[in-house]
Structure 1
Amino acid sequence: MSTPISQGVSPKRVASSPRHKKSISKKFTTPARLGIYAFLLSAAIFFLLPLYIMLVTSVKSMDEIRLGNIFALPMQFTLEPWMTAWSSACTGIACEGIRGGFMNSVAIAVPSTIIPILLGALNGYALSFWRPRGANILFGILMVGAFIPVQVMIFPLVRILASVDLYSSLPGIVLVHTVFSMPVMTLLFRNYYSTIPHELFQAARIDGGGFVRIFVQLVLPMSTPMIVVAAIMQLTGVWNDYILGLVFAGREHLPMTVQLNNVINTTTGTRLYNVNMAATILTSLVPLTLYFVSGRWFVRGIAAGAVKG
């Protein structure tokens, strides 16, 4: 006796049927979906249009810029404004470009990113797993620091650093960035560690692990998503900082943002808009590259617990 053949319709035939295609097109043309697309498109144009203007202006000659059409592509492409901005643009009486500011920003940003992340991870680990007496009170006091404006603390910090011979020095500006980043770094890691099962910590304690061993061998390797998030936030904030670098770095360690301001505000005759735009893009190149390269890690880290707790 023959087995009856199934009369079911294959998924490929369903997916290619006119009724299925019509339902998909109807789903993507609803007013809500069209509104989302319109908002995303307008937001993209709003944020990308200034970048486009800076890019096309930075590769034009001044004669072409004087024509007044800022949206037009360059008729004659040139990289001379970029070379001038990097190596010979005047910042006050010195005409050495912003390359010195780039090296200063690197020297400031690298330790100002690594040290706060390590200390923030250590604070979050202690507050999440070991919970010393008064941990919640200490955490609350630390969080108050996140809401104190930077301008309020500048004068006291100037006096304190001057009394210990750290004012206008590289260690001094690194220390200032570390102090101001502690509340946010601690909050990020504490909230992330609160999502880790406490049983893992208890099992490590039973196996004889101490404070440092558990942190180095267990907790820190599990913190990669949050370390990426913290690194992006801290490096971007330190690199884009202006006021702290201007006040605490000193003349020999002025960051790139301060050098950019000096380039733009230094006028000896005609204002060179193409050089100013090139210097601006060079200054923002590191944060832009960081977001493009590690944007996926940033979103993954946020989803892994950066805003939980």
Structure 2
Amino acid sequence: MDFLSKQFNRVGKQSENYQITFKPIVLKVNVYASSQYYIIFKRGPQKDESKKYKLEPQSNGLQMQQLLFEDEVFQRVSSFYQEKDGKFQKKSADVIIKCINQVKEEKISEVSLNLSSYIGRGSVKDSIQLTGSAYFLDFEIEVVKSEGASGDRQSQVESDQQRSASQAQDSDDEDQSPLKSQISNDSKHDESPNMRQSKSVVVQNINTHEREELQELQEKLTKQQKENYNLKLQAEQLQNKIQEIELSNQKIEEEKDVIHKELEKRGEVQKRWQSRCTELETEIGSLKKEAQDYYSADRFDNQYD
């Protein structure tokens, strides 16, 4: 289904944002040679890749091995469209298994999931059967209502991405097959006036959304530039304060050196005075002893006179 057909199919449908959380747990795969394996979770033009895991062939001849993923979590927010009967339109995501060996890198399996089937079921542990040299993939998935951006906003972003991918694909198709382009043009001429008018309205709405989004991005850019300028001024002010503090610290260090030298001089003077006091105390002690000896001898003489 091309981009315009998707947009036309969504006209009048209510959209809601849901957060998709996909966690691969275990991959069962045949290993014939030393190889690296990784998984790709692809939704529309966006894709997430796990890190690469190395597996070696076993010596007992068994090829099937289990690859345990280490806390791999893929998350994104996407818009789901709801029919009048309450059912959600199908929204697919692709799970791709790739292998890197000594010869080449190749896709060994690919399977598609209907994300709408997991809405409202909470966290679900599921398993899918694969093709090629891969057998099964055990995973955990949860699709819950997002409290983030509005449905129309998220839908527009997702639609822009899908439209870009669709335009690129259409360009490739035109280069590869002029006949296909001619058939497509003929089918457009066969469309009813109401269909062409509806698609024209959709395109006009998309262009309006694009202009609004561009204006919003320009406003955000201007705001960001002002914030950057204010941050630059604050950084310059902080730099000036740092220089002032450094000069103040330098003066404090110089004063500290002067005080330290003065204390050293006073310490030397104090030591000299202490030494002199010790000498005087020694002399006083000697004088006291001489006086005491003299007094004792004088009393002895007076006693026998």
For the aligned pair, the TM-score class normalised by the smaller chain equals: under 0.3
TM-score (norm 2): 0.19
TM-score (norm 1): 0.19
> Which has the bigger relative contact order, CA under 8 A and spacing at least 6?
1
Q: Which has the higher helix share?
A: 1
Question: Which structure has the greater CA radius of gyration?
Answer: 2
